[in-house]
Amino acid sequence: MIDEFGISDDTLNASAALSYGGLAVGCIFFVPLVHKYGRRPIYLCSVVIQLVSCIWQAEITGGGTLIAANLIGGLGGAISEVLVQMTIADIFFVHQHATMNSWYLVFTGTGAFLGPVASGYVVDSQGWRWTWWWCVIFLSITLVAVIFLFEETKYIPATVGQPLSTMRPPTQTSELVSTEQALPKHDSTGVAEHGTVHRSESHIQSSIPLKTYRQRMALITPSPGPVIQHFYQPLIVLFTYPAVAYTAFTYGLTLTTFAIMTSIQATYMVFCLLTMVNTSFHFFLG
C-alpha cells in the first residue's frame, strides 16, 4: 500500500488509531439505542456499516480514504464489544454467563490472531484488496443470516393486574412459608437445625400465545420512556461501583493488548526472523 499510494508509515498508523478510536467511542452512541429500540436493529446497522466499510477498504485510492474507511469500520464494529454480552444475558441463565462470555472471548482472540495469518496467504496469492473482498463476502452472508434468522432477544416485562376480589389468598402449606418454617431451629447446644420447607409449583400459563415469526423478526422493539438517561447512567454506575470500574479496567486492558499485538505483529515477526537469521549466521560461522 505504501508503494502503490505513496503514503507514509504515519498515515497507516493514523488509520489504525482511528479504527481503534471508533471501537472505543462507538458504544457511547449505540448502547442507548440498544436499550430503547432493541438488539436486532443495532446488529443490522453494525453489519451494514462494516460491510460498507469493507467495500470502501477494497476500493481505497489513497491515504485519506484509508483513514475514513478505518474510522467508519471502527464505529460499526464497536457494538460487538457490548451487544454480544447483552445478548448472552438475554438468552442464558445467570450461572451460564461466565462460560458463554469466555467462549466469546476465545473466538474473539482466535480471530484477532489467526485473521492476519489467513490474510497473509490472500495477499500473497490474490493481492491485498482481496483481503477486504473476502470480508465483504463473509459479511454479506452474515447480513442475510441476521435478517432472516436472528430473533429479537430483548425482553419487555408486562405487568397484568387482577382485581383484589378475584385474587386467591395463598395457603400456608403450599405457597407461603411460615415464620416457624423459614427460621432455622436450634437444639440444646445452639446448633441450627434445618426444618421442613414446603415449596409451591409454578405453572406456565398456556393461554399466552407464542409470538409469530414476523413479531420475532420485527425491525424495532421499542421500550417506553426517554432514551437520554441511557447516555449518562453507565457513567454513574462506572464511578459508583468499584466492581464495575475494576471490570471495565481489566477488560479494556485486555482489548488494548489485542490492539497492540495486531498492530505490531508484522513488525514483531520480522524482528524475530532477523534475530533468528543473525543468530544462525553467527552460530555456523563460529
Residue by residue, DSSP assigns 226-239 as -STHHHHHHHHHHH
Confidence of residue 2 (pLDDT cuts 50, 70, 90): confident
* Residue 28 pLDDT > 80: yes
Average pLDDT rounded to a whole number, residues 258-271:
66
Looking at the structure, tell me whether residues 6 and 132 fall in a common domain.
yes
Residues in the chain: 286
In the DSSP assignment, the letter for residue 219 is S
* Residue 152 pLDDT > 60: yes
Looking at the structure, tell me whether residues 129 and 248 fall in a common domain.
no
The residue out of 133, 155, 177 marking a domain boundary is 155
Domain range for 69 is 1-155
* Residue 205 pLDDT > 80: no
The residue out of 93, 128, 155 marking a domain boundary is 155
The residue out of 108, 138, 155 marking a domain boundary is 155
Confidence of residue 137 (pLDDT cuts 50, 70, 90): very high
Looking at the structure, tell me whether residues 21 and 128 fall in a common domain.
yes
Phi/psi at 14 (nearest 5 deg)? -65, -40
Q: What's 23's domain CATH number?
A: 1.20.1250.20
Q: Residue 193 is inside which H or E element, if any?
A: strand 192-193
Q: What is the pLDDT of residues 163-187, one digit of tens each?
A: 655 555 554 444 444 444 444 555 5
Q: Is residue 187 part of a domain?
A: no
Give the number of other CB atoms < 10 A from CB of residue 155: 9
Distance in angstroms (rounded) separating the CA atoms of residues 258 and 262: 6
Comparing CA positions, the residue from 269, 217, 277 lying closest to residue 43 is 217
**Taking all residues of the chain, what is their mean pLDDT, rounded to a whole number?**
81
In this structure, is the dihedral angle defined by the CA atoms of residues 105, 111, 112 and 117, taken in order, positive or negative? positive
Count of domains for the chain: 2
